[in-house]
Structure 1
Amino acid sequence: MRIFRYREVSRIVLGVLMEDGAAYRLNAPDLMSLVSEASKAGVTNEAYIKSLVQDLSPIQAAPESLALLTPLDAPEVWAAGVTYQRSREARNYEATAGKLDASTFYDKVYDAQRPELFMKSTAARTVGPGDRVCLRSDSSWQVPEAELGLVLDRSGAIVGYTTGNDMSCRDIEGENPLYLPQAKIWRNSCAIGPFVRLTETVADPYNLAISCRIYRDGVKVVDESANTGQLKRRLEELVGYLKRDNALYDGTVLLTGTCLVPPNHFTLASGDRIEIEIAGIGTLVNTAVYTHELETA
Protein backbone atom coordinates (compact mmCIF):
# COMPACT_ATOMS: atom_id res chain seq x y z
CA MET A 1 0.00 0.00 0.00
CA ARG A 2 1.64 3.20 -1.22
CA ILE A 3 0.59 6.81 -0.61
CA PHE A 4 1.16 9.51 -3.21
CA ARG A 5 0.10 13.07 -4.01
CA TYR A 6 -0.58 14.73 -7.31
CA ARG A 7 -1.74 18.05 -8.67
CA GLU A 8 -5.14 18.16 -10.33
CA VAL A 9 -5.68 21.59 -11.90
CA SER A 10 -5.25 23.94 -8.92
CA ARG A 11 -5.62 21.46 -6.07
CA ILE A 12 -3.44 18.82 -4.48
CA VAL A 13 -4.96 15.35 -4.20
CA LEU A 14 -3.92 12.53 -1.89
CA GLY A 15 -4.05 9.04 -3.34
CA VAL A 16 -3.30 5.44 -2.46
CA LEU A 17 -2.01 2.66 -4.70
CA MET A 18 -3.25 -0.70 -3.44
CA GLU A 19 -1.45 -4.02 -3.70
CA ASP A 20 -3.74 -5.12 -6.54
CA GLY A 21 -2.68 -2.10 -8.63
CA ALA A 22 -5.87 -0.08 -8.17
CA ALA A 23 -5.44 3.57 -7.16
CA TYR A 24 -7.95 5.70 -5.26
CA ARG A 25 -8.40 9.31 -4.27
CA LEU A 26 -8.43 9.76 -0.50
CA ASN A 27 -10.55 12.36 1.23
CA ALA A 28 -7.79 13.54 3.53
CA PRO A 29 -5.39 16.50 3.42
CA ASP A 30 -2.19 14.51 3.84
CA LEU A 31 -0.60 11.26 4.98
CA MET A 32 0.00 12.33 8.56
CA SER A 33 -3.68 13.23 8.98
CA LEU A 34 -4.52 9.66 7.97
CA VAL A 35 -2.03 8.36 10.51
CA SER A 36 -3.63 10.48 13.22
CA GLU A 37 -7.15 9.31 12.32
CA ALA A 38 -6.06 5.66 12.30
CA SER A 39 -4.55 6.10 15.75
CA LYS A 40 -7.77 7.61 17.07
CA ALA A 41 -9.73 4.71 15.60
CA GLY A 42 -7.37 2.22 17.24
CA VAL A 43 -6.47 0.45 13.99
CA THR A 44 -3.38 0.19 11.81
CA ASN A 45 -2.79 2.70 9.05
CA GLU A 46 -3.28 -0.08 6.50
CA ALA A 47 -6.62 -1.16 7.98
CA TYR A 48 -7.86 2.42 8.21
CA ILE A 49 -7.07 3.19 4.57
CA LYS A 50 -8.69 -0.06 3.43
CA SER A 51 -11.86 1.04 5.21
CA LEU A 52 -11.77 4.36 3.36
CA VAL A 53 -11.51 2.91 -0.14
CA GLN A 54 -13.92 -0.03 0.12
CA ASP A 55 -16.80 1.98 -1.39
CA LEU A 56 -14.74 4.14 -3.77
CA SER A 57 -14.19 3.80 -7.50
CA PRO A 58 -10.58 3.55 -8.70
CA ILE A 59 -8.79 6.34 -10.47
CA GLN A 60 -8.77 5.53 -14.17
CA ALA A 61 -5.24 6.87 -14.78
CA ALA A 62 -2.08 5.11 -13.60
CA PRO A 63 -0.37 7.11 -10.80
CA GLU A 64 2.82 7.42 -12.89
CA SER A 65 0.84 9.33 -15.53
CA LEU A 66 -0.35 11.95 -13.04
CA ALA A 67 1.37 15.21 -12.07
CA LEU A 68 3.05 13.63 -9.06
CA LEU A 69 4.39 15.69 -6.15
CA THR A 70 6.42 14.81 -3.08
CA PRO A 71 4.27 12.26 -1.20
CA LEU A 72 4.29 14.60 1.80
CA ASP A 73 5.67 18.00 2.80
CA ALA A 74 8.46 16.86 5.10
CA PRO A 75 9.08 19.72 7.57
CA GLU A 76 12.64 18.44 7.99
CA VAL A 77 14.76 15.89 6.19
CA TRP A 78 17.65 14.45 8.17
CA ALA A 79 20.30 12.05 6.92
CA ALA A 80 22.64 9.43 8.30
CA GLY A 81 26.18 9.12 6.98
CA VAL A 82 28.73 6.31 6.66
CA THR A 83 26.14 3.61 7.40
CA TYR A 84 27.33 1.34 4.58
CA GLN A 85 30.83 0.07 3.83
CA ARG A 86 30.61 1.58 0.32
CA SER A 87 29.90 5.00 1.80
CA ARG A 88 32.83 4.60 4.18
CA GLU A 89 35.14 3.82 1.25
CA ALA A 90 33.86 6.75 -0.79
CA ARG A 91 34.23 9.23 2.06
CA ASN A 92 37.76 8.01 2.71
CA TYR A 93 38.63 8.37 -0.97
CA GLU A 94 37.36 11.93 -1.28
CA ALA A 95 39.01 12.96 1.97
CA THR A 96 42.32 11.51 0.78
CA ALA A 97 41.93 13.48 -2.46
CA GLY A 98 41.55 16.54 -0.24
CA LYS A 99 44.82 15.66 1.51
CA LEU A 100 43.15 14.83 4.81
CA ASP A 101 43.85 11.85 7.05
CA ALA A 102 40.52 10.12 6.49
CA SER A 103 41.17 7.48 9.14
CA THR A 104 40.74 10.10 11.86
CA PHE A 105 37.01 10.48 11.33
CA TYR A 106 35.22 8.35 8.69
CA ASP A 107 36.60 5.04 9.91
CA LYS A 108 35.86 6.06 13.48
CA VAL A 109 32.26 7.07 12.81
CA TYR A 110 31.61 3.83 10.92
CA ASP A 111 32.71 1.82 13.94
CA ALA A 112 31.45 4.18 16.65
CA GLN A 113 28.40 3.59 18.80
CA ARG A 114 26.97 7.01 17.85
CA PRO A 115 25.98 7.35 14.17
CA GLU A 116 26.57 10.39 12.02
CA LEU A 117 23.33 12.38 11.66
CA PHE A 118 22.92 15.75 10.00
CA MET A 119 20.22 18.08 8.79
CA LYS A 120 19.75 17.56 5.05
CA SER A 121 16.82 19.64 3.91
CA THR A 122 13.57 21.46 4.61
CA ALA A 123 10.25 21.33 2.78
CA ALA A 124 11.19 24.40 0.72
CA ARG A 125 14.43 22.78 -0.48
CA THR A 126 12.97 19.33 -1.20
CA VAL A 127 11.60 18.42 -4.62
CA GLY A 128 9.54 15.52 -5.88
CA PRO A 129 9.37 13.16 -8.85
CA GLY A 130 9.95 14.77 -12.24
CA ASP A 131 11.37 17.93 -10.66
CA ARG A 132 14.87 19.30 -11.15
CA VAL A 133 17.57 18.78 -8.57
CA CYS A 134 20.32 21.37 -8.51
CA LEU A 135 24.09 21.34 -8.94
CA ARG A 136 26.24 23.77 -6.96
CA SER A 137 28.13 26.32 -9.02
CA ASP A 138 31.22 26.03 -6.77
CA SER A 139 31.67 22.25 -6.95
CA SER A 140 33.26 20.14 -9.66
CA TRP A 141 32.51 16.68 -8.18
CA GLN A 142 28.81 16.12 -7.55
CA VAL A 143 26.78 12.94 -7.29
CA PRO A 144 23.33 11.69 -6.32
CA GLU A 145 23.11 9.35 -3.35
CA ALA A 146 20.33 6.77 -3.46
CA GLU A 147 18.83 6.20 -0.02
CA LEU A 148 15.97 4.53 1.79
CA GLY A 149 13.97 7.22 3.58
CA LEU A 150 12.02 6.69 6.80
CA VAL A 151 8.85 8.73 7.31
CA LEU A 152 8.42 9.42 11.03
CA ASP A 153 5.73 10.76 13.29
CA ARG A 154 6.55 13.08 16.18
CA SER A 155 7.19 10.14 18.52
CA GLY A 156 9.76 8.66 16.17
CA ALA A 157 7.59 5.78 15.00
CA ILE A 158 8.34 4.72 11.41
CA VAL A 159 5.14 5.33 9.44
CA GLY A 160 6.48 4.33 6.04
CA TYR A 161 9.35 4.17 3.60
CA THR A 162 10.17 6.37 0.62
CA THR A 163 12.88 6.76 -2.00
CA GLY A 164 15.38 9.56 -1.47
CA ASN A 165 18.14 11.36 -3.35
CA ASP A 166 20.75 13.03 -1.15
CA MET A 167 22.63 15.23 -3.62
CA SER A 168 26.24 15.63 -2.49
CA CYS A 169 29.40 17.57 -3.37
CA ARG A 170 32.27 15.15 -2.85
CA ASP A 171 35.00 17.72 -3.36
CA ILE A 172 33.61 20.16 -0.78
CA GLU A 173 33.17 17.51 1.89
CA GLY A 174 36.52 15.97 1.04
CA GLU A 175 38.32 19.28 1.46
CA ASN A 176 37.22 19.59 5.07
CA PRO A 177 34.53 17.67 7.01
CA LEU A 178 33.46 20.95 8.62
CA TYR A 179 32.16 21.94 5.19
CA LEU A 180 29.54 19.18 5.36
CA PRO A 181 26.53 21.56 5.46
CA GLN A 182 27.71 23.24 2.25
CA ALA A 183 28.37 19.85 0.67
CA LYS A 184 24.83 18.70 1.49
CA ILE A 185 22.40 21.62 1.75
CA TRP A 186 21.48 24.04 -1.01
CA ARG A 187 18.52 24.78 -3.24
CA ASN A 188 16.81 21.64 -4.61
CA SER A 189 19.53 19.42 -3.14
CA CYS A 190 17.10 16.75 -1.93
CA ALA A 191 14.37 14.74 -3.64
CA ILE A 192 11.88 12.23 -2.23
CA GLY A 193 9.04 10.16 -3.65
CA PRO A 194 7.03 9.34 -5.57
CA PHE A 195 5.46 7.05 -2.96
CA VAL A 196 5.45 6.33 0.75
CA ARG A 197 4.93 2.63 1.37
CA LEU A 198 3.30 1.95 4.72
CA THR A 199 5.54 0.20 7.23
CA GLU A 200 3.15 -2.67 7.92
CA THR A 201 3.12 -3.62 4.21
CA VAL A 202 6.90 -4.10 4.00
CA ALA A 203 7.90 -7.61 5.03
CA ASP A 204 11.60 -6.88 5.55
CA PRO A 205 13.12 -3.39 5.22
CA TYR A 206 16.58 -5.02 5.37
CA ASN A 207 15.98 -6.84 2.10
CA LEU A 208 15.16 -4.09 -0.38
CA ALA A 209 16.97 -3.84 -3.70
CA ILE A 210 18.19 -0.32 -4.51
CA SER A 211 19.32 0.85 -7.94
CA CYS A 212 20.74 4.10 -9.26
CA ARG A 213 20.85 4.81 -12.98
CA ILE A 214 22.10 7.99 -14.61
CA TYR A 215 21.54 8.88 -18.26
CA ARG A 216 23.45 11.54 -20.22
CA ASP A 217 22.09 12.49 -23.64
CA GLY A 218 19.99 9.33 -23.54
CA VAL A 219 22.96 7.06 -22.84
CA LYS A 220 23.19 5.17 -19.54
CA VAL A 221 26.48 6.23 -17.89
CA VAL A 222 25.93 4.86 -14.37
CA ASP A 223 24.11 1.69 -13.35
CA GLU A 224 24.68 0.61 -9.75
CA SER A 225 22.69 -1.69 -7.48
CA ALA A 226 22.81 -2.87 -3.87
CA ASN A 227 20.56 -4.02 -1.04
CA THR A 228 19.51 -2.56 2.30
CA GLY A 229 20.78 -5.77 3.87
CA GLN A 230 24.21 -4.13 3.63
CA LEU A 231 23.15 -1.45 6.12
CA LYS A 232 25.34 -1.68 9.21
CA ARG A 233 22.97 -0.03 11.68
CA ARG A 234 19.38 -0.87 12.57
CA LEU A 235 16.73 1.60 11.51
CA GLU A 236 15.43 1.99 15.06
CA GLU A 237 18.96 2.77 16.21
CA LEU A 238 19.23 5.69 13.76
CA VAL A 239 15.80 7.01 14.79
CA GLY A 240 16.68 6.59 18.47
CA TYR A 241 19.70 8.85 18.12
CA LEU A 242 17.79 11.37 16.00
CA LYS A 243 15.13 11.91 18.65
CA ARG A 244 17.53 12.16 21.60
CA ASP A 245 16.98 15.59 23.17
CA ASN A 246 15.45 16.64 19.87
CA ALA A 247 11.98 17.62 18.70
CA LEU A 248 10.56 15.57 15.84
CA TYR A 249 7.68 16.77 13.72
CA ASP A 250 5.02 14.69 12.04
CA GLY A 251 6.26 13.81 8.57
CA THR A 252 9.97 14.15 9.31
CA VAL A 253 12.04 12.08 6.87
CA LEU A 254 15.28 10.37 7.83
CA LEU A 255 17.49 9.23 4.95
CA THR A 256 19.43 6.19 6.10
CA GLY A 257 22.67 6.53 4.13
CA THR A 258 23.82 5.27 0.76
CA CYS A 259 25.31 2.02 -0.45
CA LEU A 260 25.46 3.36 -4.02
CA VAL A 261 28.11 5.91 -4.97
CA PRO A 262 28.96 6.46 -8.66
CA PRO A 263 32.55 5.68 -9.72
CA ASN A 264 35.14 8.10 -8.37
CA HIS A 265 35.81 9.59 -11.81
CA PHE A 266 32.13 10.50 -12.29
CA THR A 267 30.47 13.85 -11.71
CA LEU A 268 26.97 14.96 -12.66
CA ALA A 269 26.42 17.34 -15.56
CA SER A 270 23.50 19.61 -16.32
CA GLY A 271 20.80 17.65 -18.12
CA ASP A 272 21.64 14.28 -16.54
CA ARG A 273 18.60 12.15 -15.78
CA ILE A 274 18.76 10.39 -12.39
CA GLU A 275 16.65 7.32 -11.63
CA ILE A 276 16.67 5.90 -8.11
CA GLU A 277 14.59 2.78 -7.60
CA ILE A 278 13.79 0.87 -4.43
CA ALA A 279 11.97 -2.37 -5.11
CA GLY A 280 8.40 -2.31 -3.88
CA ILE A 281 8.54 1.38 -2.99
CA GLY A 282 9.03 3.26 -6.24
CA THR A 283 11.31 4.94 -8.75
CA LEU A 284 12.30 8.56 -8.21
CA VAL A 285 13.27 10.39 -11.41
CA ASN A 286 14.88 13.83 -11.50
CA THR A 287 16.97 15.92 -13.87
CA ALA A 288 20.08 17.76 -12.70
CA VAL A 289 20.57 21.43 -13.57
CA TYR A 290 22.60 24.31 -12.18
CA THR A 291 20.72 26.64 -9.86
CA HIS A 292 20.95 29.57 -12.29
CA GLU A 293 19.21 27.43 -14.93
CA LEU A 294 16.08 27.37 -12.76
CA GLU A 295 15.76 31.09 -13.26
CA THR A 296 16.30 31.02 -17.03
CA ALA A 297 14.13 28.01 -17.88
Structure 2
Amino acid sequence: MKLARIALSDGSRHVAEVTDDQAILLDLAATSGCSSLADILHSDDPAATAASARTERSLPLDQVQLLAPIDEQDVWAAGVTYKRSQVARMEESEHGASHYDRVYSADRPELFFKATPGRVSGPGEPVRVRADSQWSVPEPEFTLVLNPAGRIVGYTIGNDMSARDIEGENPLYLPQAKVYRQCAGLGPAVLLATEPLDLAATTIRLTIDRDGSTVFEGNTSLEQLNRTLEELAGWLFREDTFPKGAFLMTGTGIVPDDEFTLKAGDVIAIEVAGIGTLTNPVVCG
Protein backbone atom coordinates (compact mmCIF):
# COMPACT_ATOMS: atom_id res chain seq x y z
CA MET A 1 0.00 0.00 0.00
CA LYS A 2 1.20 3.49 -0.90
CA LEU A 3 0.00 6.65 0.84
CA ALA A 4 0.40 10.26 -0.24
CA ARG A 5 -0.50 13.83 0.53
CA ILE A 6 -2.40 15.37 -2.37
CA ALA A 7 -3.96 18.66 -3.42
CA LEU A 8 -7.13 18.87 -5.51
CA SER A 9 -8.02 21.46 -8.13
CA ASP A 10 -10.10 23.37 -5.57
CA GLY A 11 -7.01 23.83 -3.40
CA SER A 12 -8.07 21.39 -0.70
CA ARG A 13 -5.49 18.97 0.68
CA HIS A 14 -6.07 15.35 1.55
CA VAL A 15 -4.39 12.08 2.41
CA ALA A 16 -4.92 9.35 -0.16
CA GLU A 17 -4.05 5.80 -0.99
CA VAL A 18 -2.45 5.82 -4.42
CA THR A 19 -2.30 3.13 -7.05
CA ASP A 20 -0.69 3.29 -10.48
CA ASP A 21 -3.47 5.50 -11.81
CA GLN A 22 -5.86 6.40 -8.98
CA ALA A 23 -5.89 8.41 -5.77
CA ILE A 24 -8.40 7.03 -3.25
CA LEU A 25 -9.25 9.66 -0.67
CA LEU A 26 -9.07 8.77 3.01
CA ASP A 27 -11.50 10.11 5.60
CA LEU A 28 -9.25 10.91 8.55
CA ALA A 29 -12.28 11.75 10.68
CA ALA A 30 -13.11 8.04 10.57
CA THR A 31 -9.85 7.15 12.30
CA SER A 32 -9.30 7.73 16.00
CA GLY A 33 -6.65 10.38 16.68
CA CYS A 34 -5.58 10.82 13.04
CA SER A 35 -5.53 14.20 11.36
CA SER A 36 -2.51 13.84 9.03
CA LEU A 37 -0.45 11.37 7.03
CA ALA A 38 2.08 11.32 9.86
CA ASP A 39 -0.64 10.25 12.31
CA ILE A 40 -1.45 7.27 10.11
CA LEU A 41 2.23 6.37 9.71
CA HIS A 42 2.76 6.57 13.47
CA SER A 43 -0.24 4.40 14.36
CA ASP A 44 0.22 0.84 15.60
CA ASP A 45 -0.77 -0.58 12.20
CA PRO A 46 -0.55 2.04 9.42
CA ALA A 47 -1.99 -0.25 6.73
CA ALA A 48 -5.03 -1.16 8.83
CA THR A 49 -5.53 2.46 9.88
CA ALA A 50 -5.45 3.62 6.26
CA ALA A 51 -7.78 0.84 5.16
CA SER A 52 -10.31 1.82 7.81
CA ALA A 53 -10.32 5.39 6.44
CA ARG A 54 -10.71 4.45 2.77
CA THR A 55 -13.67 6.15 1.06
CA GLU A 56 -15.54 5.49 -2.17
CA ARG A 57 -14.17 8.70 -3.69
CA SER A 58 -11.27 8.29 -6.09
CA LEU A 59 -9.74 10.48 -8.74
CA PRO A 60 -7.41 9.80 -11.66
CA LEU A 61 -3.87 10.31 -10.42
CA ASP A 62 -3.13 12.76 -13.21
CA GLN A 63 -5.90 15.04 -11.91
CA VAL A 64 -4.37 15.57 -8.47
CA GLN A 65 -1.16 17.21 -7.33
CA LEU A 66 1.13 14.98 -5.30
CA LEU A 67 2.75 16.81 -2.39
CA ALA A 68 5.85 16.02 -0.37
CA PRO A 69 4.77 13.26 2.06
CA ILE A 70 6.04 15.14 5.10
CA ASP A 71 4.21 16.86 7.95
CA GLU A 72 6.41 17.94 10.87
CA GLN A 73 9.20 15.38 10.72
CA ASP A 74 12.92 16.14 10.57
CA VAL A 75 14.84 14.96 7.51
CA TRP A 76 18.24 13.39 8.14
CA ALA A 77 20.71 11.70 5.81
CA ALA A 78 23.46 9.10 5.86
CA GLY A 79 26.64 9.43 3.84
CA VAL A 80 29.29 7.14 2.37
CA THR A 81 27.06 4.07 2.51
CA TYR A 82 27.82 2.89 -1.05
CA LYS A 83 31.28 2.21 -2.48
CA ARG A 84 30.66 4.70 -5.31
CA SER A 85 29.87 7.42 -2.79
CA GLN A 86 33.03 6.67 -0.84
CA VAL A 87 35.17 7.03 -3.97
CA ALA A 88 33.40 10.23 -5.05
CA ARG A 89 33.73 11.89 -1.65
CA MET A 90 37.45 11.03 -1.54
CA GLU A 91 37.93 12.47 -5.04
CA GLU A 92 36.21 15.75 -4.20
CA SER A 93 38.04 16.35 -0.91
CA GLU A 94 41.78 16.88 -1.04
CA HIS A 95 42.02 17.39 2.72
CA GLY A 96 39.36 15.00 4.01
CA ALA A 97 39.77 11.94 1.77
CA SER A 98 40.99 9.68 4.58
CA HIS A 99 37.96 10.56 6.71
CA TYR A 100 35.58 9.28 4.03
CA ASP A 101 37.68 6.16 3.54
CA ARG A 102 37.50 5.34 7.24
CA VAL A 103 33.80 6.08 7.75
CA TYR A 104 32.83 3.67 4.96
CA SER A 105 34.08 0.70 6.97
CA ALA A 106 33.61 2.06 10.51
CA ASP A 107 30.92 0.76 12.84
CA ARG A 108 29.49 4.27 13.27
CA PRO A 109 27.94 5.69 10.07
CA GLU A 110 28.02 9.30 8.95
CA LEU A 111 24.67 10.89 9.84
CA PHE A 112 23.77 14.54 9.36
CA PHE A 113 20.75 16.79 9.57
CA LYS A 114 19.37 17.57 6.12
CA ALA A 115 16.14 19.58 6.19
CA THR A 116 13.12 20.89 7.99
CA PRO A 117 9.75 20.48 6.21
CA GLY A 118 9.96 24.03 4.84
CA ARG A 119 13.15 23.19 2.94
CA VAL A 120 11.62 20.12 1.26
CA SER A 121 10.29 20.12 -2.31
CA GLY A 122 7.56 17.74 -3.41
CA PRO A 123 6.98 16.19 -6.85
CA GLY A 124 7.24 18.79 -9.61
CA GLU A 125 8.51 21.49 -7.27
CA PRO A 126 11.98 22.99 -7.83
CA VAL A 127 15.12 21.98 -6.00
CA ARG A 128 17.93 24.48 -5.77
CA VAL A 129 21.62 24.82 -6.59
CA ARG A 130 23.40 27.30 -4.32
CA ALA A 131 24.50 30.51 -6.03
CA ASP A 132 27.97 30.13 -4.49
CA SER A 133 28.49 26.60 -5.83
CA GLN A 134 30.04 25.75 -9.18
CA TRP A 135 29.75 21.98 -8.78
CA SER A 136 26.41 20.66 -7.57
CA VAL A 137 24.68 17.32 -8.11
CA PRO A 138 21.56 15.48 -7.03
CA GLU A 139 21.95 12.43 -4.81
CA PRO A 140 19.14 9.89 -5.38
CA GLU A 141 18.46 8.09 -2.12
CA PHE A 142 16.17 5.38 -0.83
CA THR A 143 14.56 7.04 2.18
CA LEU A 144 13.24 5.51 5.38
CA VAL A 145 10.10 6.76 7.11
CA LEU A 146 10.55 6.31 10.86
CA ASN A 147 7.93 6.62 13.59
CA PRO A 148 8.70 8.25 16.97
CA ALA A 149 9.78 4.86 18.35
CA GLY A 150 12.40 4.50 15.62
CA ARG A 151 10.54 1.76 13.74
CA ILE A 152 10.72 1.71 9.94
CA VAL A 153 7.10 2.17 8.86
CA GLY A 154 7.58 3.09 5.22
CA TYR A 155 9.84 4.07 2.36
CA THR A 156 9.94 6.96 -0.07
CA ILE A 157 12.34 8.62 -2.53
CA GLY A 158 14.75 11.35 -1.48
CA ASN A 159 16.93 13.81 -3.38
CA ASP A 160 19.85 15.00 -1.26
CA MET A 161 21.00 18.04 -3.23
CA SER A 162 24.73 18.56 -2.67
CA ALA A 163 27.31 21.25 -3.41
CA ARG A 164 30.34 19.04 -3.98
CA ASP A 165 32.82 21.90 -4.32
CA ILE A 166 31.83 23.44 -0.98
CA GLU A 167 32.07 20.15 0.87
CA GLY A 168 35.27 19.22 -0.94
CA GLU A 169 36.96 22.46 0.09
CA ASN A 170 36.66 21.49 3.74
CA PRO A 171 34.60 18.68 5.37
CA LEU A 172 33.55 21.16 8.06
CA TYR A 173 31.54 22.96 5.37
CA LEU A 174 29.20 19.96 5.09
CA PRO A 175 26.16 21.79 6.60
CA GLN A 176 26.52 24.58 4.03
CA ALA A 177 26.93 22.06 1.21
CA LYS A 178 23.82 20.18 2.27
CA VAL A 179 21.38 22.45 4.14
CA TYR A 180 19.77 25.45 2.45
CA ARG A 181 16.39 26.36 0.96
CA GLN A 182 14.96 23.81 -1.47
CA CYS A 183 17.87 21.49 -0.68
CA ALA A 184 15.83 18.28 -0.58
CA GLY A 185 13.14 16.49 -2.51
CA LEU A 186 10.76 13.84 -1.12
CA GLY A 187 7.97 11.83 -2.73
CA PRO A 188 5.90 10.97 -4.58
CA ALA A 189 4.38 8.59 -1.99
CA VAL A 190 5.19 6.44 1.02
CA LEU A 191 5.30 2.69 0.45
CA LEU A 192 4.26 1.09 3.72
CA ALA A 193 6.78 -1.36 5.17
CA THR A 194 4.42 -4.32 5.37
CA GLU A 195 6.68 -6.86 3.68
CA PRO A 196 10.43 -7.61 3.67
CA LEU A 197 12.33 -5.78 0.94
CA ASP A 198 13.99 -7.60 -1.91
CA LEU A 199 17.20 -5.55 -1.90
CA ALA A 200 18.39 -6.67 -5.33
CA ALA A 201 15.00 -5.90 -6.88
CA THR A 202 14.80 -2.47 -5.23
CA THR A 203 16.51 -0.60 -8.03
CA ILE A 204 17.25 3.13 -8.06
CA ARG A 205 17.56 5.04 -11.33
CA LEU A 206 18.62 8.64 -11.85
CA THR A 207 18.00 10.57 -15.07
CA ILE A 208 18.90 14.22 -15.66
CA ASP A 209 17.47 15.98 -18.71
CA ARG A 210 18.64 19.30 -20.14
CA ASP A 211 16.95 21.10 -23.02
CA GLY A 212 15.00 17.97 -23.90
CA SER A 213 17.99 15.61 -23.94
CA THR A 214 19.31 13.21 -21.32
CA VAL A 215 22.70 14.41 -20.06
CA PHE A 216 23.16 11.82 -17.32
CA GLU A 217 21.67 8.50 -16.30
CA GLY A 218 22.76 5.89 -13.80
CA ASN A 219 21.37 3.11 -11.68
CA THR A 220 22.08 0.98 -8.62
CA SER A 221 20.14 -1.18 -6.16
CA LEU A 222 19.85 -1.56 -2.41
CA GLU A 223 21.96 -4.70 -2.75
CA GLN A 224 24.96 -2.35 -3.12
CA LEU A 225 24.27 -0.65 0.23
CA ASN A 226 27.12 -1.27 2.69
CA ARG A 227 24.91 -1.11 5.80
CA THR A 228 21.51 -2.49 6.68
CA LEU A 229 18.51 -0.17 6.79
CA GLU A 230 17.80 -1.23 10.37
CA GLU A 231 21.37 -0.39 11.36
CA LEU A 232 21.10 3.14 9.96
CA ALA A 233 17.76 3.73 11.68
CA GLY A 234 19.18 2.42 14.95
CA TRP A 235 22.13 4.80 14.85
CA LEU A 236 19.88 7.79 14.16
CA PHE A 237 17.81 7.09 17.25
CA ARG A 238 20.79 6.30 19.46
CA GLU A 239 20.84 8.93 22.24
CA ASP A 240 18.26 11.05 20.38
CA THR A 241 14.49 11.34 20.19
CA PHE A 242 12.15 12.33 17.38
CA PRO A 243 8.66 12.97 18.82
CA LYS A 244 7.37 13.87 15.34
CA GLY A 245 9.15 10.98 13.62
CA ALA A 246 11.87 11.34 10.99
CA PHE A 247 12.84 10.69 7.40
CA LEU A 248 16.30 9.19 6.85
CA MET A 249 17.94 9.29 3.43
CA THR A 250 20.23 6.26 3.26
CA GLY A 251 22.99 7.47 0.95
CA THR A 252 23.62 7.37 -2.76
CA GLY A 253 25.26 4.86 -5.06
CA ILE A 254 24.88 7.05 -8.16
CA VAL A 255 27.28 9.97 -8.63
CA PRO A 256 27.70 11.85 -11.93
CA ASP A 257 31.20 12.29 -13.35
CA ASP A 258 33.36 15.04 -11.89
CA GLU A 259 32.88 17.18 -15.00
CA PHE A 260 29.12 17.30 -14.51
CA THR A 261 27.23 20.00 -12.62
CA LEU A 262 23.55 20.85 -12.51
CA LYS A 263 22.25 23.93 -14.32
CA ALA A 264 19.06 25.94 -14.02
CA GLY A 265 16.33 24.30 -16.05
CA ASP A 266 17.62 20.75 -15.66
CA VAL A 267 15.01 18.15 -14.74
CA ILE A 268 15.94 15.44 -12.23
CA ALA A 269 13.98 12.17 -12.21
CA ILE A 270 14.63 9.53 -9.54
CA GLU A 271 12.82 6.23 -9.96
CA VAL A 272 12.75 3.57 -7.23
CA ALA A 273 11.14 0.21 -7.96
CA GLY A 274 7.93 -0.22 -6.01
CA ILE A 275 7.59 3.45 -5.07
CA GLY A 276 7.47 5.49 -8.26
CA THR A 277 9.33 8.48 -9.69
CA LEU A 278 10.23 11.77 -8.03
CA THR A 279 10.72 14.53 -10.60
CA ASN A 280 12.02 18.02 -9.80
CA PRO A 281 13.19 20.92 -11.98
CA VAL A 282 16.34 22.76 -10.96
CA VAL A 283 16.68 26.44 -10.11
CA CYS A 284 19.88 28.28 -9.24
CA GLY A 285 20.21 30.80 -6.44
| Range into which the TM-score falls when normalised by the shorter chain | over 0.9
Call closer, same or farther: CA 1:11–1:101 in 2, change over 3 Å.
Answer: closer
What is the aligned counterpart of 1:71 among 69, 72, 75?
69
Taking structure 2 as the reference length, the TM-score comes to 0.93
Q: CA offsets per residue over residues 13-50 of structure 1, 9 Å max, x none?
A: 110024x85531011232222244x52xxxx3223323
Q: Partner residue of 1:119?
A: 113
Q: Partner residue of 1:294?
A: none
Taking structure 1 as the reference length, the TM-score comes to 0.89
Call closer, same or farther: CA 1:86–1:67 in 2, change over 3 Å.
Answer: same
What is the aligned counterpart of 1:89 among 82, 87, 90?
87
2:219 maps to 1:220: no
Q: Partner residue of 1:157?
A: 151
Q: Partner residue of 1:3?
A: 3
**Aligned pairs for 1:75-224 within 5 A:** 75-95=73-93, 99-100=94-95, 102=97, 104-201=98-195, 203-205=197-199, 207-224=201-218
| Secondary structure, counterpart of 2:133 in structure 1 | coil
User: Could you tell me whether the CA contact under 8 Å between 2:158 and 2:187 is conserved in 1?
Assistant: yes
User: Could you tell me whether the CA contact under 8 Å between 2:14 and 2:25 is conserved in 1?
Assistant: yes
User: Could you tell me whether the CA contact under 8 Å between 2:150 and 2:234 is conserved in 1?
Assistant: yes
Q: Partner residue of 2:17?
A: 16
Unmatched 5+ stretches in structure 2? 29-34
Q: Structure 2: which amino acid aligns with 1:59?
A: S
Q: Structure 2: which amino acid aligns with 1:12?
A: R
Q: Partner residue of 2:59?
A: 60
Q: Structure 2: which amino acid aligns with 1:3?
A: L
Q: CA offsets per residue over residues 112-148 of structure 1, 9 Å max, x none?
A: 0100000011011111000010110111000000000
Root mean square deviation, CA, Å:
1.6
User: Could you tell me whether the CA contact under 8 Å between 1:16 and 1:23 is conserved in 2?
Assistant: yes
Unmatched 5+ stretches in structure 1? 292-297
Taking the aligned partners of 1:89 and 1:123, their CA distance within structure 2 comes to 30
Q: Structure 2: which amino acid aligns with 1:4?
A: A
User: Could you tell me whether the CA contact under 8 Å between 1:273 and 1:287 is conserved in 2?
Assistant: yes
Q: CA offsets per residue over residues 52-102 of structure 1, 9 Å max, x none?
A: 32xx3251312x44111111225210000000000001001111xxx3251
Taking the aligned partners of 1:289 and 1:229, their CA distance within structure 2 comes to 32
Between Structure 1 and Structure 2, how many residues are aligned? 278
